Structure 1
Amino acid sequence: MNSETVSNIEFATADSLLIVRLDGGGKPSYQHVYRAAAGVYWDNDFGAFKFDTKNDKRLVHWFAHVRQVIEDEMDVRLLLDSKTTWTNVPSQIQQEIQLSVS
């Protein structure tokens, strides 16, 4: 299994999108993640996976979903490190996501 480090996790509140940007910018083959029909898409321009959160604010749950889909479909494990940044994600949710990845 390959791994990718997450550079930024963003909750785009206006669009209810969870955006997971990758440190290395990702690979063109990530575009095929949509085939899982799990709502996760690759945006090559952003170097990020995107997921419509259905506006229910369950960010920890949805991050776990995105991470699992990417692992199952792309054979890629998403990792967080000390350089991972957070945009519009409350600190409590950040901590919960960090614990779920460790």
Structure 2
Amino acid sequence: MGLSLPLTIWSDYEIRDDNFIYTKKSPTFIITFALMIALCYYFQQHIATIDSGTLSMLIFLITICYLIPWRIACYIKFKRVFKQKIQLEGSKKKTHHLIPHEFVLFFT
């Protein structure tokens, strides 16, 4: 679970000009992800006393233990940004309806 903490911290979302939600690009995210892959490779190479089946299961568990919490945290962050997007769209609709279309045409 602690392995997913750096990934969770540096995974963020943003609403861009086209009104879609995108993942923010972060070089620290790529570095952290590469370090986790290197850590799994290190365990695979330097724990030779364990038979290959047990070692494969150990690496699988390590991978699952940081991927699942990370994806759950990303979903929660995405939902938070999605709610902001909905509120932003709702406020745009409300301000649009406050000024009648005919009123805008008359004064332009």
- Whether these two folds match at TM > 0.5 is no
Greater gyration radius: 2
Q: TM-score, normalised by structure 1?
A: 0.22
More helix per residue: 2
